[in-house]
Structure 1
Amino acid sequence: MMMETLLLMVLLTHAAGTQDIHTVSKISVQKQQTITIPCLYDQKYVNYPKYMSSGGVFFFSHYVAHDRMSVVDNKTENVVTATLREAEVSDSGTYWCAVTLPGYDAATHLYLQVTEAEAELRVSSQSVSGYEGGNVTIRCHGASRWCKIRGSCVGRDGGSLERTAVHDDGDDLRVTLWQLQREDSGWYYCSNEDSQMPVHITVMEALDITQFTINPSYSTTPLSADRQFLWLLILGAMLPVTVCGAVMLIKARNKRKQRAESSNLHDDMNKQQLPKVNGKNNEVACENLYEFMTENKPNTQGNGKHNEVACEDLYETMTGNKPNTQGNGKNDEVACEDLYEIMNGIKRNTQLTATDNKNIYASMVRKVKE
Structure 2
Amino acid sequence: MRCTMIKCMHLEKRAMKMYVDMMKIWRNKSSHLFDMQTVSLKFIIVIIWLITGGECWTVTVQTGGSVIIPCHYESKYTQHKKFCCYHPSGCYNSCSILGYANETKGNVSVIDHPDQSLFTVTMRDLHHQNTGDYSCAMEIEGAAYDVTERFYLTIQSVPDLSVMSSSVTVDEGGNISVQCLYTSTYRNKHKQWCRYKDQSCYTSQNASVEISDDRRGSLTVVMSGLMKSDSGWYYCSVEDFHAPVQLTVNVAKVSVGDAQVTDKFSVTETTTALTTESTSRQHDHLKMWPLLIVLLLLLFLVTVTSVIWRNKHRENNNHISKMKKEKVSDECRPADAGENVICSPVPE
Give the structure-1-normalised TM-score: 0.52
**Alignment partners' CA distance in 1, 2:40 and 2:67:** 34
Match of residue 95, structure 1, among 110, 114, 134 = 134
Match of 1:140 in 2: 180
**Alignment partners' CA distance in 2, 1:21 and 1:227:** 56
Alignment of 1:153 with 2:180, yes or no, is no
Match of 1:163 in 2: 208
Match of residue 82, structure 1, among 98, 117, 121 = 121
Look up the SS of the partner of 1:183 in the other structure. helix
**Alignment partners' CA distance in 1, 2:116 and 2:209:** 22
**TM-superposition CA deviations, 1:342-369 (whole Å, max 9, x none):** xxxxxxxxxxxxxxxxxxxxxxxxxxxx
Q: CA RMSD in A?
A: 3.7
Match of residue 106, structure 2, among 45, 67, 76 = 67
The structural deviation recorded for 1:152 is: 2.3
Cα distance change, pair 19–91 in 1 and its aligned pair in 2 (3 A): same
Look up the SS of the partner of 2:116 in the other structure. coil
The structural deviation recorded for 1:226 is: 9.6
Cα distance change, pair 3–47 in 1 and its aligned pair in 2 (3 A): farther
Matched-pair contact (CA < 8 Å) for 2:91–2:135: no
- As a proportion of its length, which structure holds more strand? 2
Runs ≥4 residues deviating over 4 A: 4-8, 13-16, 18-22, 158-162, 219-224, 226-229
Match of 1:181 in 2: 227
Report the identity percentage: 27
Stretches of structure 1 that go unaligned for 5 or more consecutive residues are 214-218, 237-370
The structural deviation recorded for 1:67 is: 1.2
Matched-pair contact (CA < 8 Å) for 1:21–1:42: no
Match of 1:41 in 2: 73
Alignment of 1:199 with 2:245, yes or no, is yes
Matched-pair contact (CA < 8 Å) for 1:20–1:41: no
**TM-superposition CA deviations, 1:98-140 (whole Å, max 9, x none):** 110112121141100012x121322122111112211111111
Residue identity in the other structure for 2:95: S
The structural deviation recorded for 1:63 is: 1.0
Matched-pair contact (CA < 8 Å) for 2:179–2:220: yes
The structure whose RCO (Cα within 8 Å, separation 6+) is larger is 2
Cα distance change, pair 174–83 in 1 and its aligned pair in 2 (3 A): same
Match of 1:119 in 2: 159
Matched-pair contact (CA < 8 Å) for 1:152–1:161: no
**Alignment partners' CA distance in 2, 1:183 and 1:129:** 13
**Alignment partners' CA distance in 1, 2:108 and 2:47:** 25
Q: How many residues align?
A: 224
Match of 1:50 in 2: 82
Match of 1:131 in 2: 171
Look up the SS of the partner of 1:60 in the other structure. coil
Match of residue 172, structure 1, among 208, 214, 218 = 218
Larger Rg: 1
The structural deviation recorded for 1:232 is: 7.1
**Alignment partners' CA distance in 1, 2:175 and 2:181:** 20
Cα distance change, pair 171–86 in 1 and its aligned pair in 2 (3 A): same
The structural deviation recorded for 1:159 is: 5.6
Cα distance change, pair 91–7 in 1 and its aligned pair in 2 (3 A): farther
Residue identity in the other structure for 1:82: V
Residue identity in the other structure for 2:60: S
Residue identity in the other structure for 1:9: K
Residue identity in the other structure for 2:75: Q
Look up the SS of the partner of 1:12 in the other structure. helix
Stretches of structure 2 that go unaligned for 5 or more consecutive residues are 1-18, 23-37, 100-104, 262-269, 286-348
**TM-superposition CA deviations, 1:175-201 (whole Å, max 9, x none):** 111111111111100112351101111
